[in-house]
Amino acid sequence: MSKQKYAIGVDFGTESGRTVLVEVASGTEVATSVYLYKHGVIDEVLPLEGEQVRLEPEWALQDPEDYIRTFQCTVPGVLEQSGIDPEDVIGVGIDFTACTMLPVKEDGTPLCNIPEYRRNPHAWVKLWKHHAAQPEADKINATAREMRQAWLDRYGGKISSEWFFAKTLQILDEAPEIYQAADRLIEGADWVVWQLTGEEKRNSCTAGYKAMWSKREGFPSDDYFAALDPQLEHVIDEKMSRTIYSIGEKAGELTPQAAEWTGLKSGTAVAIANVDAHVSVPAATVTEPGRMVMIMGTSICHMVLGEQEQTVVGMCGVVEDGIIPGMFGFEAGQSGVGDIFAWFVDNGVPESYYEEAKARGFDMHQLLEEKAALQKPGEHGLLALDWWNGNRSVLVDVDLSGLLIGATLATKPEEIYRALIEATAYGTRVIIEAFEENGVSVKELVACGGLPEKNKMLMQIYADITGRKIKISASEQAPALGSAMFGAVAAGSAAGGYDTIFEAAQHMARLKDETYIPIHEHQKIYNQLFTEYVHLYDYFGRGDNDVMKRLRRIRDKVRS
Amino acid sequence: MSKQKYAIGVDFGTESGRTVLVEVASGTEVATSVYLYKHGVIDEVLPLEGEQVRLEPEWALQDPEDYIRTFQCTVPGVLEQSGIDPEDVIGVGIDFTACTMLPVKEDGTPLCNIPEYRRNPHAWVKLWKHHAAQPEADKINATAREMRQAWLDRYGGKISSEWFFAKTLQILDEAPEIYQAADRLIEGADWVVWQLTGEEKRNSCTAGYKAMWSKREGFPSDDYFAALDPQLEHVIDEKMSRTIYSIGEKAGELTPQAAEWTGLKSGTAVAIANVDAHVSVPAATVTEPGRMVMIMGTSICHMVLGEQEQTVVGMCGVVEDGIIPGMFGFEAGQSGVGDIFAWFVDNGVPESYYEEAKARGFDMHQLLEEKAALQKPGEHGLLALDWWNGNRSVLVDVDLSGLLIGATLATKPEEIYRALIEATAYGTRVIIEAFEENGVSVKELVACGGLPEKNKMLMQIYADITGRKIKISASEQAPALGSAMFGAVAAGSAAGGYDTIFEAAQHMARLKDETYIPIHEHQKIYNQLFTEYVHLYDYFGRGDNDVMKRLRRIRDKVRS
């Protein structure tokens, strides 16, 4: 018998990078290592020596050196722990948050690493949750509507301030000198693969979901970009590339320098970059239509596959080859989920609860779950709109904000906690219904990410509210596993890997035995509450009462 | 010169009774004593030995023995502290929460003091904030509308579940044996005066504001009561009285037993009972139209005088002789104010804030005020509807509930705290505008109660939002002072007191020097936010979207 072969997946998250070493034949996760980024999310001051450059509200940056340190600090560790011979590691895949983008020089050097630009916030990596490019997104949308750009339909009629060209246009608007100095504007995902392989190869997933590219039509026209700003006319040819590689392809091989960072063999196959959410889909066993994958963490990303392109208002995008080669990948999202629960725990729970949690050795989420699980659906009399971080799908509106209704003097923290969880589940149901109404089938849900592991009550609430069975990915680190699967595909069967992601999924991905099944009695109550949720959703989200936007305008004016 | 004369005022509150000894000529408050009721608010289980009788949600009871103990535990103390000769105390006045009512026997014995009835919650005192009689209030309102009862206009078109006949009808509906056993149904205020004087004399203030009585038309007709329930037809003649005494009159004189409780001379003049809020009006120097008094504590009561009767939708009532003899007293209210801030402090503030408060020797309200005061109007981006305890004026609807809109992941506890304060101020402005639109002038505000003493930021916000100057009563115990003033009037000038409340107010009541003046820059922002508040107020409060009521119905159904 041939020797066991291994693949490595590296998942670049918001606060940390996570590496997993996976046995290719069985999908067994042999070793894991996590690097907590030195500079994390940079949202107040730039990490400079001896001077203070403060950031505006809504900014969120990262330091690209944290990505290199992730390789250096995790890959040698998983090799060491597992005792695996680097010879037997046949492929590496990476996935990233998106759109997380940065300006670099021709040779890949980030502008923020060059002393001349280092004090300019626009020289740094703009993280996915950088929300300061809303005026630019508004302009992109308005111009696209005026010019009747057909590609807008692929994004549910609206693109987000988080995406590539909103961030690009913000650089041009606010720091034209950085825009000029940038030879290349690139996704973090592709930049990292470039660092590993020495080759700048851009992936179809971020190009399709975040940069308005499609396999059949390419990017929007130069005319369109010129209408946004004359200086942007040739942005694709000058600072990007029209050659886009499908996920599932091989990007290249590890350079000697990258081999030194990682302890892997130079020449090891490296996969085309992928996105954390999308790479989790095959890791959650889904390579066919009908089962939606929910990546549940600080936010939720919803992904489902289809044989045909469909237009779904308010979805984040549909991209051919975007998730699984040869299929249309549909994506939607909720911009605040676990983040909202964390906000509540940090801001809304009294001292006595902390004392109880401490005495019982619980963390606050556990204590609140225990108390909230005693409530029957509808018993707390509360309803919330889950917009603490805006609404991604189906309204695509970062200016929306959170709402809680129904509080009385008897309302307890655990009741608000449960209402917030329920609100995010209603938000998921709105997304599922939008897909189904537009011909994209969602029969069953498969969950992965941090939340399903920790919170059984939450999963049951999601099953009750969506009316669908939920299964859970067996891997606690689906993105990293998915990246490793793509690493095995990059290596190919000749090297002991696989030739397609379908084969890799059959061997390397698994679900847990447990299934959450909707409870009929709960559904009856939640259906009533969902009607109320949708009524408020439409009232505050679709222009009947734009009070949330006006409050924000007043706030911004007062602050300025 | 004649010797100094003194009057005593006793204020029966929600949690305690407070007695003040006042020098009649100058209004100087010589001594004060507070008795914290042994049983406080009874809202979970009856205070019985050896058995558990649990109360339903929304119930709130008191023990009448706590009222007698108030006399016993406070009056001897103020005499002792001050060294005053009881001979020089010329009069006693009392004020009470309302409607706070109880069923008693012919001789005044409360049914809850009789072993046979003691285990029945309906035998106890129903406190003003007993909110379990909403179905009865609904019936009273619906029947009044069907029978075109003119008196309904005096109460803004709707009576509250807190009032006398809602509570009476609840006793009849749920405990007919208690209704039968009750020879008398009486306000706590009048029952206490009965205990002091041996005479059952009912006051015009509670009769007018809480029992639909008016000086010119008396009570609603027997036909109306019969339509509510045939057994209620003769409730006035059987269990109440058609003889109502104006506030400002003398009720009688202290009995020997009451003299023994108090250490006062038997034969001392006792004033007709009054209500805590209403008795504060002359204590805050207001005996003429145009200046509104706000009693600011757990809730707010708004009072203003007029020369003529006017109909104001959603006010609590207009009563001739209700506040000041010879004038029409208009009352409105907000059912949750300080209560909402306390709810927030108890339920919504994280551990780290408690640690900071402790380290700095602050209470939580002080800490939150300090942090909230750093915010400019509009800066937090939040808006709330102040309905945590329902809405008293102008919607008169206990089924409404709290709403908070505008929260983001960056929202801090002190921002919510400030938004809650602002919401209660917007609620006050709605009430002021309702009065003014209906011909009742409100040029200036005079505040008394616990809040104005403690929270300067709150007072400035109220001035900014209402656009009116606010002055503060000099007394920290306006109700007790007002009661003492009425005690001095009961004694009359011949005994060293006064013949009218106008004279008493001139000599005994004062304002502080400080005035809160609206800040123009703040008003500009708050006017915009008030427009938003009113929009939400109307949308959720006037039937456009009855989600709050539906949530409550779902809650009640699930709980039952």
- Note the pLDDT tens digit of each residue in B245-265: 999 999 999 999 999 999 999
Please state which of the ranges A233-242, A386-395, A483-492, B510-519 shows the lowest mean pLDDT.
A386-395
* pLDDT band (50, 70, 90) for residue A298: confident
- A406·B551 Cβ contact <8 A: yes
**Cα B18 to the center of its chain, rounded Å:** 15
Our CA-based measurement puts residue A153 at a distance from the nearest CA of chain B, in whole angstroms, of 29
Q: How far apart are CA A210 and CA A213, in angstroms?
A: 8
Q: Are B67 and B101 in contact (CB under 8 A)?
A: no
- Contacts of residue B540 in chain A, CB cutoff 8 Å? 405
Confidence of residue B199 (pLDDT cuts 50, 70, 90): very high
Minimum Cα–Cα distance from B415: chain A residue: A347
**Of A526, A393, A418, nearest in space to A468 by CA:** A526
Is pLDDT of A512 > 70? yes
Considering only CB atoms, B381 lies closest to which of A351, A403, A555, namely: A555
Q: What is the signed CA dihedral for A423, A427, A429, A434, rounded to 10 degrees? A: 160
B554 with A340: Cβ contact below 8 A: no
CA atoms of B327 and B320, how far apart (whole Å): 6
Q: Residue B377: its chain A contacts at CB < 8 A?
A: 558
Query: Is omega for the bond preceding B30 within 30 degrees of 0, making it cis?
Result: no
Residues of A whose CB is below 8 A from B557? 378
- Angle made by CA atoms A38, A40, A44, in degrees to the nearest 5: 115
Interface test with A, best of B363, B386, B408, B531 (most A CBs within 10 A): B408
Contact residues, chain A, for B559 at CB < 8 Å? 376, 379
Pair B32, B20: CB distance under 8 Å: yes
CA B106/CA B183 separation, integer angstroms: 5
Which pLDDT score is estimated for A217?
95
Nearest Cα residue in chain B from A376 = B558
B510 to chain A nearest CA, in Å? 35
Whether residues B525 and A381 touch (CB distance < 8 A) is answered with no
Q: Measured between CB atoms, which of B346, B348, B551 is closest to A383? A: B551
CA distances from A520 to A155, A203, A410, A461, A523 (A): 35, 44, 28, 12, 5
Residue A362: is it exposed, middle or buried by C-beta count within 10 angstroms (0-12/13-18/19+)? middle
d(CA A526, CA A422): 9
Distance to chain A for B45, nearest Cα, Å = 16
Chain A partners within 8 Å of B422 (Cβ): none
Comparing A236-240, A335-339, B371-375, which segment has the lowest mean pLDDT?
A335-339
Nearest to A378 among B348, B529, B554 (CB): B554
Q: Which residue in this structure is represented by tokens 């849900």?
A: A445
Are residues A402 and B406, on separate chains, in Cβ contact within 8 Å? yes
CB atoms within 10 A of CB A164: 25
Q: How confident is the model at residue B1 (pLDDT cuts 50, 70, 90)?
A: very low
In this structure, of A209-218, A374-383, B90-99, the range with the lowest mean pLDDT score is: A374-383
User: Confidence class of residue B158 from pLDDT cuts 50, 70 and 90?
Assistant: confident
Q: Is the pTM of this model over 0.95?
A: no
Alpha helices by DSSP H, listed for A159-255, are 164-174, 176-181, 188-197, 204-210, 222-228, 235-239
Interchain CB distance below 8 Å, A536 and B545: yes
Burial of A494 (0-12, 13-18, 19+ CB in 10 A): exposed
Is a pLDDT exceeding 70 seen at residue B539? yes
Q: Check residue A27 and give left, alpha or beta (phi > 0: left; psi -120 to 50: alpha).
A: left
Residue among A346, A405, A557 with most chain B CBs within 10 A, to mutate: A405
Q: Which of B116, B118, B123 is nearest to B102 (CA)?
A: B123
Residues of A in contact with B536 (CB under 8 A): 545, 547
Q: Are B483 and B277 in contact (CB under 8 A)?
A: no
Q: Residues of A with CB below 8 A from B44's CB?
A: none
Report the amino acid identity of residue B136: E
Residue B415 burial by Cβ neighbours in a 10 Å radius (0-12, 13-18, 19+): buried
**Shortest CA distance from B338: residue in chain A:** A409
Residues of A in contact with B134 (CB under 8 A): none
Residues of B in contact with A378 (CB under 8 A): 551, 554-555, 557-558
The minimal CB distance from B558 to the residues A379, A408, A554 is found for A379
Q: Which of A451, A509, A500 is nearest to A22 (CA)?
A: A509
Give the nearest partner residue to A405 out of B413, B525, B548, using CB atoms: B548
Residue B315 has pLDDT above 70, yes or no: yes
**Vertex B529 angle, CA B527 and B535, to 5°:** 105
* Angstrom distance (rounded) from CA B335 to CA B391: 6
CB contact under 8 A, B407 and A411: no
Interface size between A and B, measured as CB pairs under 8 A: 170
Cα B2 to Cα A546: distance, rounded to the nearest angstrom: 70
What residues of chain A lie within 8 A of the CB of B550, using their CB?
Answer: 528, 532
Q: Do A535 and B557 touch (CB under 8 A)?
A: no
Chain A residue numbers with beta carbons less than 8 Å from the beta carbon of B524 are none
> Which residue among B343, B379, B412 sits closest to A559, beta carbon to beta carbon?
B379
pLDDT given for residue A338 in this prediction: 87
- B532 interaction partners in chain A (CB closer than 8 Å): 547, 550-551
Using only the alpha carbons of chain B, give its radius of gyration. 23
Q: Which residues pair with B328 in a beta bridge?
A: B306, B320
Smallest Cβ–Cβ distance between B558 and the set A351, A376, A557 belongs to A376
State the smallest CA–CA distance between residue B226 and chain A in angstroms.
35
Sheet strands (E) in B78-206: 89-96, 101-104, 125-126, 184-187, 202-203
Residue-wise pLDDT for B540-552, tens only, equals 999 999 999 999 9
Contact B407 A403 (CB under 8 A): yes
Q: Is B169 left (phi over 0), alpha (psi -120 to 50) or beta?
A: alpha
Residue of A nearest to B551 (CA): A381
- State the DSSP code for A199: -
Strand A16-23, strand A29-36: pairing: antiparallel
Question: Would the CB atoms of B547 and A536 count as touching at under 8 Å?
Answer: yes
Cα–Cα dist B350/B344, whole Å: 11
**pLDDT for res A2:** 58
Q: Which chain A residues are closer than 8 Å to B379 by Cβ? A: 555, 558-559
Which phi and psi (to 5°) does residue B311 adopt?
-95, 125
| Nearest Cα residue in chain B from A378 | B555
For residue B2, what pLDDT is reported? 58
Interatomic CA distance for residues B319 and B327, integer angstroms: 8
Would you give the end-to-end CA distance of chain B in angstroms? 70
Tokens of B217: 């038309």
H or E stretch covering B79: helix B65-82
Q: Do A547 and B405 touch (CB under 8 A)?
A: yes
Candidate from A336, A410, A532 with C-beta closest to B551: A532
Contact A407 B406 (CB under 8 A): no
Check CB contact under 8 Å for A351 and B349. Answer: yes
Task: Please check whether residue A79 is in contact with residue A21, taking contact to mean a CB–CB distance below 8 angstroms.
Answer: yes
The confidence score (pLDDT) of residue A1 equals 38
- Secondary structure (H, E, C), A167-183: HHHHHHHHCHHHHHHCC
CB < 8 Å to A404, chain B: 402-404, 407
Taking residues B448-458, what's their average pLDDT? 85
**Å from A365 to nearest chain B CA?**
14
- The end-to-end CA distance of chain A, in Å, is 70
Listed in sequence order, the DSSP H helices in A348-455 are: 351-360, 364-373, 413-437, 450-454
User: Could you tell me which chain A residue has the CA closest to the CA of B525?
Assistant: A554
Decide if pLDDT at A351 tops 50: yes
Instruction: For A384-424, write each residue's pLDDT tens digit.
Output: 999 998 898 888 888 899 999 999 988 999 999 999 999 99
Q: How far is A120 from chain B (nearest CA, A)?
A: 24
Interchain proximity B412–A347, CB inside 8 Å:
yes
Banded pLDDT at A156 (limits 50, 70, 90): confident
Identity of the residue in A347, A379, A405 whose CB atom sits nearest the CB atom of B555: A379
**CA neighbor of B271 nearest in space, from B545, B550, B484:** B484
Instruction: Determine, for residues A381 and B557 on separate chains, whether the beta-carbon distance falls below 8 Å.
Output: no
Determine the Cα–Cα distance for residues B549 and B543; give it in Å rounded to an integer. Answer: 10
Q: What is the mean pLDDT of chain A?
A: 93
Over the stretch B12-65, which tens digit does the pLDDT of each residue have? 999 999 999 999 999 999 999 999 999 999 999 999 988 899 999 899 999 999
Return the residue in A337, A351, A534 with the most chain B beta carbons within 10 A, the one to mutate for interface testing.
A351
How many angstroms away from the CA of B58 is the closest CA of chain A? 10
ipTM surpasses 0.85: no
